[in-house]
Amino acid sequence: MKNFEELGVSPEIRKAIEELGYAAPMPVQEEVIPYLLGENNDIVALAQTGTGKTAAFGLPILQKIDVRERAPQALVLCPTRELCLQIAGDLNDYSKYIDGLKVLPVYGGSSIESQIRSLKKGVHIIVATPGRLLDLMERKVVSLATIRNVILDEADEMLNMGFTDSINAILADVPEDRNTLMFSATMGPEIARIAKNYLRNPREITIGRKNEGATNVNHVVYIVHAKDKYAALKRIVDYYPQIYGIIFCRTRKETQEIADKLMEEGYNADSLHGELSQAQRDAVMQKFRIRHLQLLVATDVAARGLDVDDLTHIINYGLPDDTESYTHRSGRTGRAGKTGTSIAIINVREKSKMREIERMIGKKFVLGEMPTNRQICEKQVFKVIDDIEKVSVNEEEIAEYMPSIYRKLDWLEKEDLIKRVVSSEFNRFLEYYRDREEIEMPSDQRERNNKRGEVAGKGAVQKGARRAESGYARLFINLGKLDGFYPKQVIELLNRYTTKRVEIGRIDLMKSFSFFEVAERQARMVVEALNGTTFNGRKVAVEVADQANEPARKKGNFKSNVKEQGRRDYSKGDSKPKPKKTSRAERGYTTARGPKKTDDWKQFFKQD
């Protein structure tokens, strides 16, 4: 392994990074630094966050700056305000001993006038979010004509956030003879297109394998019933008393609900999502960075560009729709040679999504065993003991109070005193878990059911019959794809005719009828609310499905009150009318390829 001097890094920069604790180059730095120090060397670097990439591009572009030329010579584009400030701060640290070098962060949510004043004074490196930089370009207060090095950091995130047009407009204004370096955690089609259009014969550098997860991260999955997800989250958090991590949720509403529940129950947590103002966001992030918060509950969008060191765990409260998002989530732990853990809490229907992620990251999830009441209590009591052992005692400060303390506690034996000290911290967990019912894993339940059926010679699940997940009821509805009835329409129908938030499970769509699952306790309410309503002029019929008869329904032999609700019985000789031609929009399509298919529709339900 080479050192920074052998890579060609200048003495001034080496002095600064040595003070920061940089001893030897990380793999991405060893690959990128010497190549970027050359001319006309474009790079596509595939590397996870936390691999040392800021120094990989930062050191060479700093070294190539001509401080005497008071004009922008390097441009770093990144997706978020937080990442923009972090990169600018790192570049300032690396250039500590380069006199006169100016780095300017440019981002939205801050005074544009102060940024304009700084630009007019002259800067050498601009670190910017695409939207604010484009605004400054349109105001004619910044010129990119002198830019010689362009860095696109977290390019895949910028494209996911909808910055494609802005990036195209910015790169069109930069001289063609520039060096361009594009960093991305994953290599998707859009990244390849940008590279083809704007980079000249780029060298591809991959740290690990393409789209691979961070190497120091363990991936653990807990499969539970949907109704047990929050209880499972609590158990996992309680089992790791020293946890410092991010809990990722799918929607803003779910994020706030989970954070509120955790805070109400005494956990050191807060939320981060798109409905927070910039001031609220900054306050939450500051508390989390200095560890005044143990748990940050966040959406993917809100956490983009979020860079916090030493996270022990990432918890996925359900898997993201986009498998690449999982790579970004898990890559926030296990950094700088440390080991981290990415936990997924999923229900049975998310197993296929888990397999997709496994293929993408090249690793298998380890099936976690749900911590028992006893195991959690043991962990918590030892945490109390550890905390007591680590207490720093200031002998001088407390000396004058000790005689009174001794007199007050003199009647207690040593064992009684220890019990009381431990109990003062431990009683909350002891009381909560004393008679708490353990969480049953769905797979264990299915195995027991199958064994019961084999022994009794009956009761096994019928081949071809679909059974609702435990805690859910399966409902039949006389609407299908031919009626323009798709998952989106299921949600809209429930929103329109029910007054409470309904928990929805699996949705199965047929041509002329469909099945969908709702929480058992809500099934009767849903049936009563929807029966007799109308959808596109048709009267709606809903009933609890008889699972044993489902194959007959699918063959078209099912007889119910559907006929009375307006459907002809063609088996009795009624002439079948020619199907009416309808447009794709009338049939319920929301995109050119139809509505997006997903296993878990709860994130769309009752959202603002």
Contacts of 517 (CB under 8 A, 6+ apart): 468, 469, 472, 473, 474, 475, 504, 505, 506, 507
For residues 380 and 429, give the distance between their C-alpha atoms in angstroms, rounded to a whole number.
8
Q: By CB neighbour count within 10 A (0-12 exposed, 13-18 middle, 19+ buried), where does 583 fall?
A: exposed
- Higher-confidence position of 578 and 187: 187
pLDDT of res. 1: 63
pLDDT of res. 77: 93
Block residue for tokens 């047929």: 510
Task: Write out the two tokens for 355.
Answer: 């397999």
Q: By CB neighbour count within 10 A (0-12 exposed, 13-18 middle, 19+ buried), where does 130 fall?
A: buried
All structural domains of the chain:
11-206 (3.40.50.300), 217-367 (3.40.50.300), 373-391+401-433 (no CATH), 472-569+582-604 (3.30.70.330)
Under the banding of pLDDT at 50, 70 and 90, the label for residue 305 is low
- H-type helices in 122-228, by residue range? 130-138, 155-160, 164-172, 189-198
Least confident of 244-248, 432-436, 583-587: 583-587
pLDDT per residue as tens digits for the range 375-410: 888 888 888 888 888 888 888 888 999 999 889 888
**What strands, in cross-sheet order, belong to the sheet with 295-299?**
269-272, 295-299, 245-249, 313-316, 340-346, 217-223, 366-367
pLDDT per residue as tens digits for the range 334-368: 765 677 899 999 988 888 889 888 888 888 899 98
Pairing between strand 504-509 and 514-519? Answer: antiparallel
pLDDT of res. 605: 36
Least confident of 464-473, 483-492, 564-573: 564-573
Q: In the predicted model, what is the mean pLDDT of residues 228-250?
A: 93
Under the banding of pLDDT at 50, 70 and 90, the label for residue 277 is confident
pTM above 0.85, yes or no: no
Residue pair 585/591 in contact by the 8 Å Cβ criterion: no
Nearest Cα to Cα of residue 462 among 453, 475, 452: 453
- Higher-confidence position of 132 and 601: 132
pLDDT of res. 479: 92
Nearest Cα to Cα of residue 61 among 1, 10, 19: 10
| Average pLDDT of the chain to the nearest whole number | 79
Residue pair 55/4 in contact by the 8 Å Cβ criterion: no
Under the banding of pLDDT at 50, 70 and 90, the label for residue 63 is very high
Kindly tell me if the per-residue pLDDT of 457 is higher than 60: no
Least confident of 213-227, 328-342, 391-405, 559-573: 559-573
Distances (CA, A) of 123 to 89, 97, 174, 477, 540: 15, 17, 16, 65, 66
For residues 143 and 3, give the distance between their C-alpha atoms in angstroms, rounded to a whole number.
37
pLDDT per residue as tens digits for the range 65-111: 999 998 999 999 988 887 888 899 899 999 999 999 999 999 887 88
Kindly tell me if the per-residue pLDDT of 2 is higher than 80: no
User: 279-292 b/e with 16+ CB inside 10 Å = b?
Assistant: eebeebbeebeeee
SS3 (DSSP) at 483? helix
Q: Identify the bridge partners of residue 514 per DSSP, sorted by sequence position.
A: 477, 509
pLDDT of res. 446: 43
- Higher-confidence position of 568 and 501: 501
Percent of the chain with pLDDT over 70: 81
Where are any strands of DSSP class E within 32-178?
Answer: 43-46, 74-77, 103-106, 125-128, 149-152
Chain centre distance of CA 219: 14
Under the banding of pLDDT at 50, 70 and 90, the label for residue 137 is very high
Kindly tell me if the per-residue pLDDT of 466 is higher than 60: yes
Kindly tell me if the per-residue pLDDT of 259 is higher than 70: yes
pLDDT of res. 608: 37
Q: In the predicted model, what is the mean pLDDT of residues 287-297?
A: 91
Residue pair 190/162 in contact by the 8 Å Cβ criterion: no
Q: Identify the bridge partners of residue 534 per DSSP, sorted by sequence position.
A: 539
